[in-house]
Each structure stands twice: as structure tokens, then as C-alpha cells.
Amino acid sequence: MEGSAFSAPICCYLIWLFFVCSSLVLLRSAATDADLLQDFCVAELQSSVRVNGFPCKNVADVQGQDFVFSGLAHAGNTSLSLTGVARTPASVLQFPGLNTQGISMVRADFAPGGLNVPHLHPRASELAFILEGTFYAGFITTSNKLYTQTVHKGDLLIIPRGLVHFQLNIGSTPGVIMGSLNSQNPGAQLLPVTLFGTDIKDEVLEKAFQLSRKAVEALKTKLTPKS
């Protein structure tokens, strides 16, 4: 009987300890990306297999060029944009060697007066380096608080994950921003295109923005991506 009386508290303690440790492990796994289980996993973009990411290319087919991307070396053509900005992404979709590495970049070229329209990255925070130019930049929190700053060549700007942000070139010369993001595929939703360049019913946009049907139709015509 003494043995049973002694073992019951010990058993309860061990069960409690197990659940505490399990909870800590679950909290840790929810807060960070999973650790790599191999050196690399070059994405096989053409595979029909769909996972949370991309399957790996056969190691025998991997070459040194899979780990190099030259797309950010050249300026984008800002004259093709309604707002004077050309974005050049370097995510896993353009650079398969980023698969499972949890990082990507984007280059944004600005004409004088160019605007990187309010947008968000749903899967990443962004660290933006001002390579050239002077910008009025900012982001808006979920409590509708606006934070803005004038940033110059050499400055770094942090944009928290998922928050709406923008950059306006307020200088008289072209500008360049290089953004580093902590996701291999951060995604980007440009709010004007997301809202007026899709098939949302006109009535929704009229009521949401207090616009006339004519104004909504004009914006849809201007902002719907050309196929």
C-alpha cells in the first residue's frame, strides 16, 4: 500500500511534465520554420507533386548554376508601369535554389515620382535597403496606425510581416530599393490591383469605397491586368 501511495504522485507529476514539455515543443514549432533536414533542396518547379513548397530536384541533376541568380543585376523598365515602378522578384519561383531556405529578395526600380503602391506580403517581413534615391515610406498597423519616415540612400527600413506598406520616390532622380524577405515565396498583394483588378462585384467596391458605379468601372478597366 505504501508503494502505491508513493507512486501515484510520481505518476501524476510525470504526466504533467510530459504535457508541459509537449506544449513547449508545439509552441516552438509554431513560432519558427522547421529546421532543414538536408543541405539543400533545389526546387523542381515542373513537378506535378504539390506540397507546402516544392519537391526537390534529384541531387544528381543539381549544378552550381542552381545556386546563382542574376536577375537583380539589371534595372527594370519603369515606363511600363502606371505608377513608375518596376519590380523584379527573386523568390523560389524565379530562383529554385531558394527552396526550403526561408529567404528571398526583390528589386524595385523607381522613376522620379514613382510609387510602389500600398501592398502587403502575407508570408514575410521585409528588410528594405535604399540603394539609390530618397523616399517617403511607411506602413499601417492592424490598429490603423500609420508610421512614416523619409529614408535616404544607405538606410534600412523594416516592414513587419503582413502589414500594408508603400514607398514614394520624392527625389528628382531614379531610385532603387532592394528588399530581403524571410520567406522563399513571400507573396505580394498590390491592393489597387487586388481590389479593382479582379471580378469582385461592382456593388461591393461601390459601398466599400463610396464610389459611383462609373468610377468603379473606370478603375477596373485601368487596373485589370492585361492577359
Q: Where are the domains of the chain?
A: 1-32, 64-196
Mean pLDDT for the stretch of residues 83-109: 96
pLDDT at 70 exceeding the cut of 70: yes
Distance CA 107, CA 178 (A): 5
Distance CA 157, CA 138 (A): 9
pTM of the full structure: 0.82
Distance CA 131, CA 105 (A): 14
Mean pLDDT for the stretch of residues 55-81: 96
The identity of residue 96, as a single letter, is P
Instruction: Express each pLDDT in 13-35 by its tens digit.
Output: 555 555 555 554 444 444 445 66
Residues 183 and 105: beta-carbon distance below 8 Å: no
Distance CA 1, CA 5 (A): 6
Residues 179 and 106: beta-carbon distance below 8 Å: yes
pLDDT value of position 226: 77
Mean pLDDT for the stretch of residues 68-85: 96
pLDDT at 173 exceeding the cut of 60: yes
pLDDT value of position 170: 98
pLDDT value of position 7: 58
Mean pLDDT for the stretch of residues 169-188: 96
Res. 93 pLDDT band, cuts 50 70 90: very high
Correct CATH for 64-196 of 3.60.10.10, 2.60.120.10, 3.40.1180.10, 1.20.1050.40: 2.60.120.10
Three-state DSSP class for 42? coil
Distance CA 139, CA 63 (A): 40
Res. 51 pLDDT band, cuts 50 70 90: confident
Mean pLDDT value across the chain: 88
